[in-house]
Amino acid sequence: MKILTLLFTLLTCQVYAQEVIEKVQNYRKANEHKLLKEYLQLLSIPNIASDSAHILKNADFIMGLMREKGIEKVQLLDAGKTETFAPPAIYGEVNVPNAKRTIIFYAHYDGQPVNPLQWSQGLSPFSPVFTDQSLEKEGKIIPIPTENEAINPEWRIYARSTSDDKGGVFSILNAYYALVKSGIKPTSNIKFFFEGEEEAGSAHLGKILEKYKNLLKSDLWIILDGPVHQSGRKQVVFGVRGDVNMSIKVFASKRPLHSGHYGNWAPNPAMQLVHLLASMKDETGKVLIDGFYDDVTPLSATEKQALAQVPSVDEQMRSELGFAKPEGGGISLVEAISLPSLNINGIQSANVGPMAANVIPTTATVVLDLRLVKGNDYVRQVEKVVNHIRKQGFFVTEEDPTEEERMKYPLIAKVSTKGGYNAQRTPMDLPIAQQVVKAVQSTSKEPIVLLPSSGGSLPLYLFEKHLNTPTITVGIPNHDNNQHAENENIRIQNLWNGIETVAALMTMK
Amino acid sequence: MKILTLLFTLLTCQVYAQEVIEKVQNYRKANEHKLLKEYLQLLSIPNIASDSAHILKNADFIMGLMREKGIEKVQLLDAGKTETFAPPAIYGEVNVPNAKRTIIFYAHYDGQPVNPLQWSQGLSPFSPVFTDQSLEKEGKIIPIPTENEAINPEWRIYARSTSDDKGGVFSILNAYYALVKSGIKPTSNIKFFFEGEEEAGSAHLGKILEKYKNLLKSDLWIILDGPVHQSGRKQVVFGVRGDVNMSIKVFASKRPLHSGHYGNWAPNPAMQLVHLLASMKDETGKVLIDGFYDDVTPLSATEKQALAQVPSVDEQMRSELGFAKPEGGGISLVEAISLPSLNINGIQSANVGPMAANVIPTTATVVLDLRLVKGNDYVRQVEKVVNHIRKQGFFVTEEDPTEEERMKYPLIAKVSTKGGYNAQRTPMDLPIAQQVVKAVQSTSKEPIVLLPSSGGSLPLYLFEKHLNTPTITVGIPNHDNNQHAENENIRIQNLWNGIETVAALMTMK
């Protein structure tokens, strides 16, 4: 019932803050070239979390932008003493007299690792270019528009983090500045928090939140990350799946062998890994690991109702992505992302293509991505997988095997995990949640999509754990942005929409 | 019975041509630095068959050496008009008045593809270095010996093709020159034939043999390729397995997807490939493809007896390679290499390690290596695998799938093959075969190993087909030479032994 009430409220709110949006739009229209020029500069700085020099360069650049825009107390938030490099978060704030509340806007400035060889011709992860359309729709690279040229909002910018998540940083900073330049006061105190190692698993985020607990006091975190809905509608997301990566490396002979002289006799680690992986999932996509689907907290009635309202995009996506049959044995995309998942991110043993050689490889490696839903615990979920590996006869180790282990165990798997955190869901009926929904709806003529949980992940449980503060996620980029992969891009209209969405949130009733 | 007679003859032949060997040894001892200097120059020229510029540089360099050594009619043998670059073979000859017969000595001057990143620190495929021992035994890189320094025969040289098969070229040319310099006349007319695309599947060898049929008339081809026996004994090999490579590429979504937003719904090509590969072989290593072991011509009684005489190295190899249990469900290494095989040479989908990202890959590729024994036909063997792929529900295509095919077939595999040729076995009891065995035995105090067929492959059936001439293979390098892989090397004593073996063959009764 609650969800129906909520939807009704939404539809009566179309004109909410219409004036704010118009002013912000006018500011943007007058400054498009300047906005994009600044954005291209930001995109040109490599931002892999482990690349400390460049990460700090990104932070410097962003802090410069913040100061220019009049944001106060701009500073780096560090994780204290750490064993390895911990990318700092960037902080800033704006205090508004008589503000009702404090909202922290979150985005992250680091990006996923890149393999430049996999990017299409003419593209390079940190040399942004414009195209007249998405590459999948035969888009062509076009020159960077000159000052006098009109910018077509259907154009795209290709570079790492255009969408994920420098687009979030862009929207937040420029929404704020558009308000300043339009003479509009935010209705909340605003804090800015830009994380620097989200794509590396946010290993130090908890430490930072704990260390700067007082500075980070607020009523709500609004997370700018992830795309709008595949239907093109804006969406508000109330939770995220948890995530943990596992790397499994299988060891056979100590040196690579001629496949003729030893083929069919010396064990092949790729074949051993293949058997192991095949045992993990059946051909419909069901995970066969014992207890994999246990622990799942059922959706609430409100959440179930919300899910039922989400426009189905299954057929659209199937056709857009070009495949005949989804995994999952018939469940829909929204159902699939409400379940824990096991996905192969990458697999490699020796070489394929021009570098392939007639060898028996020495090792074979797979990287798995486990997504978790509310109720799952990431440590427990990894344990289930490790137990499964053992049940298939493998000796499981965390180090490269010793000579003795090699001679003792016919099957050897080195397992390591990276990152890891649990899912999080904010109740959809919190009063502040309803304010957010109204604000986002005010920027859109079509009904926006309300999703109890994204399929993607962010370490949002940390905000609950360390700060006891709810989080709500608002997407900005187009869904076909290739985030996490080669050819990442953003549609320019989505950048413009992002500014409006955030401006509405900064001025919400 | 025949094999016993043969062995008896061998053991009474220990002193055969002892004088020749001594003279050749003396020549080598006086010229070790010069020999190795020339060899390092040859190893420094990259030799991937597709790299036409460097292949021709190798050929030039080798022809220069041949002319210096007084070999006649030195020339390139080309394949005539071809669609793609066909590395030429190198030819030369020496006519001996009153010679009993004509023998062609074969080696190949091209090498397997290289991935320099996979080579150990300090090594580079085409910058040969010396080590004081094999790397697996903690060998260290040492400076290239100066003129006055004694050369330890246990040292190794690391570079691509040190063993496979520039070592063959080295042994043949220097054995001949050692005879010349020692004033010894060969007992046969000698022809030299150095192939330039053996590691790329010898696609044009048949054309070359056919075109130069008359020039290549002989009584026997002696193939210098492959290692000595793992026991360290010299070996004479009477046949080879056939070989064909298959690449299987599985297609799923057209663009890489965020594994959170689509994981468990969008099909994962790596998981599809894993299921396919797991269906091809059981956990003991038995190939499950229908009819895979059909067509095999049984070993003759002589061949079976020879196999029974081969010293077992299974335990030695298992310990050297560091694994607990071989594939094959209990069969020995010599039995395993007498069967057709299916081996994963390499597999890749997206990335592992530092470049791994949370994606659902778009494709997954495996390269398989099928080894064939006498009776198998490589086209038929590939068909069996393709039929198996179809039986697992895949649409099999030779091109990237069209939009329509993507939307129609849930499982899509693009299959391509590379090279391909059948096995070959020369009868062990041919009179000329017995002469070869005696000659090689004369250079060794230990009984040499007689192998009906190597596990490795060479397109030797072509010599039967185009020239109707038998072939016998004689190995030179150490068995632990990492041929076909990173860190290829040769033990210097094996180079010296190679010169003596070939000299004995050139002067055999």
Contacts of B327 in chain A (CB under 8 A): 264-268
* Interchain contact, A275 vs B271, CB within 8 Å: no
Q: Which domain holds residue A197?
A: 2-240+423-506
B379: how many CB neighbours lie within 10 A of its CB?
11
Alpha-carbon gap, residue B399 to A355, rounded angstroms? 20
B421: how many CB neighbours lie within 10 A of its CB?
24
CA Rg value for chain B: 24
Contacts of A350 in chain B (CB under 8 A): 345-347
Exposed / middle / buried, residue B15 (Cβ in 10 Å: 0-12, 13-18, 19+): exposed
Mutate to test the interface with A, among B47, B198, B359 (most CBs of A within 10 A): B359
Secondary structure (3-state) at B251: strand
CA angle B72, B73, B79 (to 5 degrees): 140
**How close A464 gets to chain B, by Cα (Å)?**
21
Do the beta carbons of residue A484 and residue A466 sit within 8 Å? no
Q: Do both B395 and B474 map to the same domain?
A: no
For A267, the closest of B114, B325, B410 (CB atoms) is B325
**How close B200 gets to chain A, by Cα (Å)?**
10
Secondary structure (3-state) at A360: strand
**How close B332 gets to chain A, by Cα (Å)?**
8
Q: Do both B369 and B444 map to the same domain?
A: no
Residue B399 lies in a domain: yes
Q: Do both B480 and B347 map to the same domain?
A: no
**How close A41 gets to chain B, by Cα (Å)?**
24
CA B409 to chain centre: 39
Helix, strand, coil percent values for chain B (each to nearest 5): 35, 20, 45
Q: Do both B214 and B247 map to the same domain?
A: no
Do the beta carbons of residue B101 and residue B189 sit within 8 Å? yes
Alpha-carbon gap, residue A165 to A142, rounded angstroms? 23
DSSP E strands in B257-340: the ranges are: 257-258
Helices (H), B360-402: 378-391
The partner residues of B412 in beta bridges, in order of sequence, read B251, B395
Average pLDDT of adjacent 10-residue blocks, chain A of 509 residues: 53 61 97 98 97 97 98 97 94 96 98 92 96 94 94 98 98 98 96 96 93 98 95 96 96 92 94 98 96 94 92 94 93 93 97 89 97 96 98 98 97 93 93 96 95 91 94 95 92 98 96
DSSP E strands in A16-122: the ranges are: 72-77, 89-94, 102-108
- Of B421, B437, B462, the last residue of a domain is B421
What residues contact B148, with CB distance under 8 A and at least 6 apart?
none
Secondary structure (3-state) at A342: strand
Residue A366's alpha-carbon distances to A276, A353, A486, in angstroms, are 11, 19, 19
Contacts of A371 in chain B (CB under 8 A): 259-260, 263-264
* Interchain contact, A256 vs B331, CB within 8 Å: no
B493: how many CB neighbours lie within 10 A of its CB?
15
Residue B16's alpha-carbon distances to B10, B13, B331, in angstroms, are 10, 5, 37
Q: Do both B344 and B470 map to the same domain?
A: no
Alpha-carbon gap, residue B350 to B117, rounded angstroms? 18
Q: Do both A217 and A198 map to the same domain?
A: yes
Q: Do both A363 and A489 map to the same domain?
A: no
What residues contact B243, with CB distance under 8 A and at least 6 apart?
A260, A358, B201, B369, B370, B371, B372, B378, B419, B420, B421, B457
pLDDT of residue B320: 92
- Determine the residue type at B213: K
- Of A421, A446, A477, the last residue of a domain is A421
Q: Do both A220 and A263 map to the same domain?
A: no
Instruction: Tally C-beta pairs within 8 A across A and B.
Output: 363
Residue A140 lies in a domain: yes
Do the beta carbons of residue B478 and residue B494 sit within 8 Å? yes
A257: enclosing H helix or E strand = strand A257-258
Alpha-carbon gap, residue A498 to A367, rounded angstroms? 33
Q: Do both A43 and A116 map to the same domain?
A: yes
What residues contact A149, with CB distance under 8 A and at least 6 apart?
none
Q: What is the DSSP string of B299-316?
A: PPHHHHHHHHHSPP-HHH
Average pLDDT of adjacent 10-residue blocks, chain B of 509 residues: 53 61 97 98 97 97 98 97 94 95 98 92 96 94 94 98 98 98 96 96 93 98 95 96 96 92 94 98 96 94 92 94 93 93 97 89 97 96 98 98 97 93 93 96 95 91 94 95 92 98 96
Residue B408's alpha-carbon distances to A130, A319, B360, B405, in angstroms, are 34, 11, 20, 5
CATH of residue B376? 3.30.70.360
- Of B400, B421, B442, the last residue of a domain is B421
* Interchain contact, A328 vs B265, CB within 8 Å: yes
Q: Do both A375 and A463 map to the same domain?
A: no
Residue B327 lies in a domain: no
B448: how many CB neighbours lie within 10 A of its CB?
22
pLDDT of residue B14: 42
Contacts of B460 in chain A (CB under 8 A): none
- What is the arrangement of strands in the sheet containing A341-350, beginning at the earlier edge strand? A395-397, A412-421, A242-251, A363-372, A341-350, B341-350, B363-372, B242-251, B412-421, B395-397
Residue A206 tokens, joined: 């908890």
Residue B289 lies in a domain: yes
* Interchain contact, A268 vs B343, CB within 8 Å: yes
Report the half-sphere exposure of B305 (CA within 13 A, side-chain side). 12
- Nearest of A116, A120, A56 to residue A88 by alpha carbon: A56
**How close B184 gets to chain A, by Cα (Å)?**
36
Residue A311 lies in a domain: no
CA A507 to chain centre: 26
Residue A363 lies in a domain: yes
When divided into structural domains, chain B yields a total of 2
Query: Exposure pattern of A24-48 as b/e (b: 16+ CB <10 Å)?
Result: bbebbeebbeebbebbbebbebbbb
Q: Do both B107 and B174 map to the same domain?
A: yes
For B324, the closest of A113, A264, A410 (CB atoms) is A410
The partner residues of B193 in beta bridges, in order of sequence, read B91, B106
pLDDT of residue A171: 98
Do the beta carbons of residue A205 and residue A462 sit within 8 Å? yes
- Torsion sign over Cα B265, B267, B270, B272: positive
Residue B103 lies in a domain: yes
CATH of residue B435? 3.40.630.10
pLDDT of residue B509: 87
Cα dihedral A140/A146/A151/A155 (nearest 10): 20
pLDDT of residue A7: 54
CA Rg value for chain A: 24
What residues contact A108, with CB distance under 8 A and at least 6 apart?
A165, A168, A194, A195, A196, A197, A198, A199, A225
pLDDT of residue A484: 84
Do the beta carbons of residue A142 and residue A261 sit within 8 Å? no
pLDDT of residue A459: 87
- Nearest of B97, B109, B25 to residue B62 by alpha carbon: B109
pLDDT of residue A2: 56
* Interchain contact, B261 vs A351, CB within 8 Å: no
Secondary structure (3-state) at A39: helix
* Interchain contact, A352 vs B347, CB within 8 Å: yes
Cα dihedral A55/A61/A64/A70 (nearest 10): -90
Instruction: Give the phi and the psi of residue B337 in degrees, each rounded to 5.
Output: -80, 0
- Determine the residue type at A205: L
Residue B89 lies in a domain: yes
This complex has an ipTM of 0.85
Q: Do both A165 and A38 map to the same domain?
A: yes
